Chains A and B, each alone.
Chain A
Amino acid sequence: MNVIPARTRARCEVRALTVEQLGEAWQRVRACFEVGALATGAELELRPHGRDFADLRQNPDMTEVYVRALGELGRTAKSRHGETMASTDMGNVSQLIPTIRPTIGYDTAGAKQHTPEFTAYGKSPGADRAVLDGATALALTGAGLATSQPQRNRLLDGVRRRQRSQPAAGGANSSPPTRADRLAPGESGAGPGRSRARVCGSGHARTPPAYSPGPVGVPAQDGRQAGEGLSDGRQTVDGRRRGPVGPDARQSGTTGPVFGGVDHPAGFPWQASSPAAKMVVGRQMRRLASGVKLSRSPGASDAPLALDSGAGKKGLKSGALGLLSSVAIGLASTAPAYSLAATLGLIVAGVGLQAPIITMLAFVPMLLIAYAYKELNASNADCGTTFTWATRAFGPRTGWMGGWGIIVADIIVMANLAEIAGIYSFRLLGYDSLTENRVWTTLAGVIWIIVMTAICYIGIEISAAVQRWLLCIEVAVLLLFAVTALVRVYTGNPEMAIHVSASWFNPLHVPSAEALTAGILAAVFIYWGWDTAVTVNEETADSTRIPGRAAIISVVLLLVIYALVATSAQAFAGVGSAGIGLGNRDNAGDVLSGLGNAVFGSHGAGPFFSKLLIFMVLTSAVASAQTTILPMARTVFSMAAHKAVPSRFARLHRRFLTPTWSTVSLGLASVGFLVLLTAISNNVLADSIESVGLAITFYYGLTGFACVWYFRRVLTRSRRDFLFKGLLPGLGALTMLFLFCYAAFVVYADPSYGATSIDLPFIGRTGGVTVVGLGALLLGVVLMLVVTREHAAALRLQRSLLPHRLPQPTAVEMASRYVPADSRSGVGGDWFDVIPLSGTRVGLVVGEVIGHGLLAAATMGRLRTGVRVLARLDLDPDELLSRLDDLVGQTAKERAAVHGAGGTGPREDDALGVTCLYAVYDPVSGQCSMARAGDSMAAVVLSDSGVATYPDLPAGPPLGLGGLPYETTGFQLPQGSLVALFTDGLVQAAADDIGVGLGLLTEALAQYRRPLEELCDRAVASLVPGPANDDAVLLLVRTRMLDEHQVATWELTAEPAMVGKARAVTTGQLGAWGLDELSCSTELIVSELVTNAIRYAAGPIHVRLIRDETLICEVADTGHTSPHLRHAATDDESGRGLFIVSQMAQQWGTRYTPTGKTIWVEQALPAARAVGETPS
């Protein structure tokens, strides 16, 4: 056409990881278009095409429900957490509303979206199936969300919060910022000359209010990390004020436009350009990488489904139980009717008329322990109860024994209950003759166990419903019995009746202290079982409150029932040892049935009520059997989830959401135990049932002690804390300890106590009950050692991988703390390291591997070695992290390939998403440089100001996630400054809000002149007061600077004559340092190195001598060649220099600098000439 084109048009698309970064990226791109206008004089018009699409945030809780729903259709969804796909406007929805947008797949023969091939498969049978399965899964997800009360509440809260935060304006405020919003005032139309930028839209508010509150890890409206919360006056290390991202911050970094249509599947996140935005990249990627790891703060408007701290996340059916059901389960588990029937006679026989007060006194230690359960559960609602809490308080072994105590007690009592249920079934049906037949009763017992296990298996709600019914019958009949008995005592005056007297409630009237103790020992166990209400915590609607309350309510209700029934029964029957008298030893096994006939009479409705009483004992035993399986299965389930027993016990039923393996296997174990012991001997069975008290007092006591220890650091916080977390549980635990010892070594140990006795070596004849009880617990110790082998191995591995004793280089003084997360039994993947580098510099590392256990420990070891190897290459921090990133990425790829080929699907490398901070400090210059991958953090206290600051470290992506470059930040540290490196676990343990954590750290470091160990203690005490969910690492160093007399430098020109000069100055300096012994060898080293420099490189040569713990001699030139150690042949004219040097040196090496390379050589100082004795 031969015409200068007068008009050109293009569409430019800019993509970024987050909508915030999009604004920054666009500024960079926009500048280029302005340059085009400026260069040519053409007029520029920019017009947004449509609105920005925000990044998609899929809600993890909803995703979980969806995945489960999809699973029911036989489909498995692959988790693509941390991956990004193309762009979608669903992203904008997800910024405000809990959202999921999973993909539903069908065979497309490899075709990708936006191709005609993909279109073709859109009408295939697979696609049709996808429509129906997708519909079903989505609908089931909706139904699941609506059914789960906590989720429902959170969702509704979210809507309310959203609606509150957008008054009147309808929805207008609710979407992400518009294009025009992103331009700061004064920025639009700024092009000089004839170029002109027209900006469409209006308004300059950066971000509308409804949009701003982001989840933890997502920037607040001004682009700052939401959690940093530093006051504005605080200075950063380099003296700049920390502030919102301004235009100046956007001037660096790279971005790039994409020309073409919308929704290209491939997209490149932009390298963010401002430090704050970089932090965002890291955060964001971290959040994606770690999935549920970062919990969202409850106040975040777009995140109504806050994640809990790990507990309650094992997949049990949350929200299935209310307070009433929990109380029912707690009460039923105790089996009040059966407990009374079997125990009241014994108590009366021991203490006589004071039986009622004994039942009431036994309530006290139970209430104390119930408080321990309540407090522990409120802080850590885990269905493993004693196991979990004792693990957190005392470590995995003790915790394991706590869990074992529960299992032992439950299996034994199951056998007992099943037998009772068997006997009473026959009695109820009128086959009294069969009740004496062991075979038949055992058979009936086995059937009952199977039935009850089945009910537990098919759902917690059904269990609860059964319990409510059984319990109603039980309590109603007990009350009827009590009232009828009392009425008859005061109206009809039956033959043995006595009137209620105040002395019944006076413990001082008990004949002897011994009788009192024995009575309480017997009575304590009638309360046992209420803890089941806590064991089902993860299935309640409010797992932190309901279980604790239910436990206390259960215990109190039990007190009322027991006091009433014991009093009325005693009033009606007296304590005589004949007939229906409660003291009659013949009736001791069951006082109630005998009483029933007398109370209700034998005419009219009497026989019916008597039967009802039998039925009640039956239901009581059955209910208790069922509620015994519940805690047993859940304890084992939790132990498996925490890797304390094989993980198959952690399997859940897809639909019923009950533990499958643990329920069934424990049901079988109970059956096996019952059958086996019946077969061996009735007496052994009887003694083992008696011995259950030992297991109970063991785990109750352990829980009490765990409570005190677990909360030990907060006991002084308030009077309430002291009372309910310390004093009461402590007293309860001591009582339990006393009862345990008293029972095990006095009462049960009496050879005449139980049905059997055994002649033990060294000890002599001992009651069978003690032997069985202690034996069962000891068996646990053996099992524990076997089962926890892996854990122990992981712990050993980790300990062996962490630095045992940090080197104490001259450059810094240091202290460190490693606080492993104990929720997962103490082995985490955090690490820290201190690596001496050449030229007295030192490398400092903190890092965090996501995950726990053997694998995490191994990965940590791998990475720690990697860092050490790379550090030896004297790489800059950013360079080191890039190489480490390569390493992790490569391993991950290889693993994925292997697993992909093996047909097991890709398995991610555990090193993916690892965060790591690497810093190098040079004590000669006082320069410190750092780079980080992910969000490990650093704090710096400059010795001249004494204020803790948090340097603006650009957060590169976590390792293995991709090639965004890392960036080194450098700053100058005066002598005696503090540098604290730490993982985010440290500042997130105390509160979800990192700002709070950083504030606490600032306080802890305020007295920065105190000894480092003390500062470390102080920081850990305030930041990680109790057990944490995440590992925390703190590496604290105080910088030193080398004395100027310890360093000597010279600059030489590259002339052969300079070699002589180098030798002369070296000798002179060594003389001044009193190191004449070394002058010969050093002279040789210097002259060889300087000669090499002159020969192979150009430009000035720097010679530096450092007198530290070794004598370091460095020669720097401008060459980038790598010196190579050779073995020269006899007739070679060169190639011996480095060989000579290496023979003289203790260590030598090369490091590269931006201007060339430095060869350094270290020689050991003659004895007793170490630093500090410099004659200067």
Chain B
Amino acid sequence: MTNTLGMHRTVTEAVRSWSDRLVALSHGLHDEPETALQEHRSAARIADLLETAGFTVTRGVADLPTALLATRGSGDLVIGFCAEYDALPGIGHACGHNVNGAAAVGAALALAAVADELDLTVKLIGTPAEEDIGGKVLLLDAGVFDDVAAAMMVHAASDDSVGASSLAIGAWDITYRGKPSHAALAPWEGINALDAMTVAHTGSPTAARP
């Protein structure tokens, strides 16, 4: 029977021993915000830290240069932590991904301390561009999550909460191409692409509020 008391202590001790560097990581990410797919320095910070801790680190995964993969342990049970680290254009880490990323890294470091005892593998997945194209979607496609038995992360917010769902979202780029012409002399010669957009916008059905 695993000694759970000891295990808890090891985990909390590990976080404590890395606390300076984790806070430094959070601050570092915050100080140098990088937007979706540009998170080169952010990813490097995380990769460096995890390498120091003895993780096997792959920088750049699935054609995403700013994604990363760090594993430690050899157990059959793979616990995955998703680290997000992209910022928003113009307003820095307004979604708190510096906290998300540093917490995920911290979790990986702490769980690694008991990985052998619990016969598990810790897998930290650096998932870029959460605010944009969704790095996790591409990483899922690439099979990075195939062996992951449970995936976890925390997200910065103004309170502690669990269990919420999120909305599904799809985004489309729409382009209308018309034909230019003089708007006063011969408007009938042209095809007004703005009209098309306006018609589409006006015609769009209203949303129903939940």
User: B182: which A residues are within 8 A, CB to CB?
Assistant: 2-4
Q: Is the CB of A103 within 8 A of B161?
A: yes
Once the chains bind, are B92 and A116 in contact (CB under 8 Å)? yes
Which of A8, A17, A75, A101 touches B194 (beta carbons < 8 Å)?
A8
Residue of A nearest to B135 (CB): A89
Q: B8 near A: Cβ within 8 Å?
A: yes
Does chain B have a CB within 8 A of A111? Answer: yes
Interface of B is mostly: mixed
Q: Are A123 and B30 in contact (CB under 8 A)?
A: yes
Can you pick out 16 interface pairs between chain A and chain B where the beta carbons lie within 8 Å of each other?
A: A11-B173, A16-B167, A16-B168, A43-B176, A53-B134, A63-B163, A76-B160, A80-B162, A88-B166, A90-B166, A103-B154, A122-B26, A122-B94, A137-B107, A256-B205, A963-B210
Interface bits B1-18 vs A (CB < 8 Å: 1, else 0): 110110110011011100
User: Could you tell me if B161 and A77 are in contact, using CB atoms closer than 8 angstroms?
Assistant: yes
CB distance from A158 to the nearest CB of B (A): 6
Q: Answer yes or no: B152 CB below 8 A from chain A CBs.
A: yes
Size of the chain B interface, CB-CB below 8 angstroms: 127
Is B210's CB under 8 angstroms from A131's CB?
Answer: no
Which of A261-269, A926-934, A1037-1045 lies at the binding interface?
A261-269
Q: A141-B152, A268-B207 are in contact. List 19 more A-B contacts (CB 8 A).
A: A4-B189, A5-B178, A5-B192, A32-B201, A43-B178, A49-B173, A53-B169, A78-B160, A88-B166, A89-B130, A92-B140, A103-B156, A127-B98, A131-B22, A131-B23, A142-B152, A146-B75, A155-B149, A163-B146
B163 in contact with A136 (CB, 8 Å): no
Residues of B within 8 A of A (CB): 1-2, 4-5, 7-8, 11-12, 14-16, 19, 22-23, 26-27, 30-31, 75-82, 88, 91-96, 98-99, 102-111, 114, 118-120, 122, 127, 130-138, 140-184, 187, 189-201, 203-210
Question: Lowest 9 A-B CB distances belong to which pairs?
Answer: A135-B106, A171-B143, A4-B190, A134-B103, A36-B200, A89-B134, A138-B107, A50-B133, A103-B157
Contact check, A171 vs B160: say whether CB atoms are below 8 A apart.
no
Chain A residues with CB below 8 A from B172, complex form: 11-14, 26, 46-49, 179
**Which chain A residues border B170 with CB–CB below 8 Å?**
13-14, 22, 26, 48, 52-53, 179
From known contacts A4-B192, A123-B30, A135-B15, infer whether A172 and B167 are also in contact, taking CB-CB under 8 Å: no
**A50-B134, A270-B208 known; A170 and B200 CB under 8 Å?**
no
Name the residue of chain A whose CB is nearest to the CB of B14: A139
Q: Is A66 an interface residue (CB 8 A)?
A: yes
Task: Kindly state whether residue A417 has any CB partner on chain B within 8 Å.
Answer: no
**What residues of B have a CB within 8 angstroms of the CB of A89 in the complex?**
127, 130, 134-137
Chain B residues, Cβ within 8 Å of A782: none
Known contacts A103-B157, A655-B8; A96 and B102 CB within 8 A of each other: no
In contact, B168 and A39 (Cβ under 8 angstroms): no
Q: Are B154 and A104 in contact (CB under 8 A)?
A: yes
Closest CB in chain B relative to A268 CB, distance in Å: 4
Report how many residues on chain A are interfacial, defined by Cβ distance under 8 Å: 161
Instruction: Please give, as numbers and ranges, the residues of chain B lying within 8 Å of A70 by CB-CB distance.
Output: 160
* Complex partner residue of B142 from A32, A99, A140, A171, CB under 8 angstroms: A171
Q: Collect the chain B residues with CB atoms within 8 Å of residue A115's CB.
A: 91, 94
Q: Please give, as numbers and ranges, the residues of chain B lying within 8 Å of A72 by CB-CB distance.
A: 8
Q: Are A93 and B98 in contact, with the CB atoms below 8 A?
A: no
Q: Are A127 and B26 in contact (CB under 8 A)?
A: yes
Shortest beta-carbon distance, B93 to chain A, in Å? 5
Residues of B within 8 A of A257 (CB): 201, 204
- Is A205 part of the binding interface, using a Cβ–Cβ cutoff of 8 Å? no
Which residues from B are CB-within-8-Å of A465?
Answer: 1
Whether A67 sits at the interface, judged by CB under 8 Å, is yes
A-B contact count, CB below 8 Å? 547
Chain A residue at smallest Cβ distance from B4: A147
Q: Are B193 and A134 interface neighbours, CB within 8 A? A: no
Kindly list chain A residues whose C-beta atoms are within 8 Å of the C-beta of B198: 36
Decide: B156 and A106 in contact? CB cutoff 8 A. yes
- Complex Cα distance A90/B137, Å? 8
Complex CA distance for A267 and B184, rounded to whole angstroms: 41
Residues of B within 8 A of A26 (CB): 170, 172
Question: Do A11 and B174 form a contact, CB below 8 Å, given A62-B150, A105-B157, A135-B110?
Answer: yes
Cα–Cα, bound, A14→B207 (Å): 10
**Contact B157 A142, beta carbon cutoff 8 Å:** no
Is A7 at the interface (CB under 8 A from chain B)? yes
Query: Residue A271 at the B interface, CB < 8 A?
Result: yes
Closest chain A CB from B33 CB (angstroms): 8
If A2-B183, A81-B164, A963-B208 touch, does A7 touch B175 (CB 8 Å cutoff)? yes
Interchain CB contact under 8 A, B94 and A100: no
A98/B149 contact (C-beta < 8 A), A50-B132, A139-B106 known: yes
Cα distance, A42 to B143, chains bound together (Å): 41
**Docked-complex contact A36 and B167, CB < 8 angstroms:** no
- Complex-state Cα separation, A18 to B82, whole angstroms: 22
Query: A1099: CB under 8 A from chain B?
Result: no
Shortest beta-carbon distance, B178 to chain A, in Å? Answer: 4
**Chain A residue with the shortest CB-CB distance to B178:** A42
Contact yes or no, A87 B169, CB < 8 A: yes
Q: Is the CB of B166 within 8 A of A6?
A: no
Q: Is there contact, CB below 8 Å, between A40 and B191? A: yes
The distance in angstroms between the C-alpha atoms of A134 and B100, with both chains bound, is: 8
For B125, the closest partner residue in chain A by CB is A93
Cβ of A114 within 8 Å of any chain B Cβ, yes or no, is yes
Which residue of chain B lies nearest to A19 when distances are taken between CB atoms in the complex?
A: B168
Question: Which of A51, A101, A965 is close to B208, meaning CB atoms less than 8 Å apart?
Answer: A965
Q: Are A93 and B151 within 8 A (Cβ)?
A: yes
A7 surroundings in chain B (CB, below 8 A): 175-178, 193
| Inter-subunit contact B140/A123 (CB<8 Å) | no
Chain B residues with CB under 8 A of A90 = 82, 130, 136, 151, 153, 166
| Contact assessment for B200 and A33 in the assembled complex, using a CB-CB cutoff below 8 Å | yes
- Residue numbers in B under 8 Å from A100 (CB-CB): 151-153, 162
Q: How does the 8 Å CB contact mask read for A832-845 relative to B, with 1 for contact and 0 for none?
A: 00000000000000
A93 x B82 contact (CB < 8 A):
yes
Least CB distance, A83 to chain B, in whole angstroms: 5
Q: Do the beta carbons of B161 and A92 come within 8 Å of each other?
A: no
* A1086 contacts the other chain (CB 8 A): no
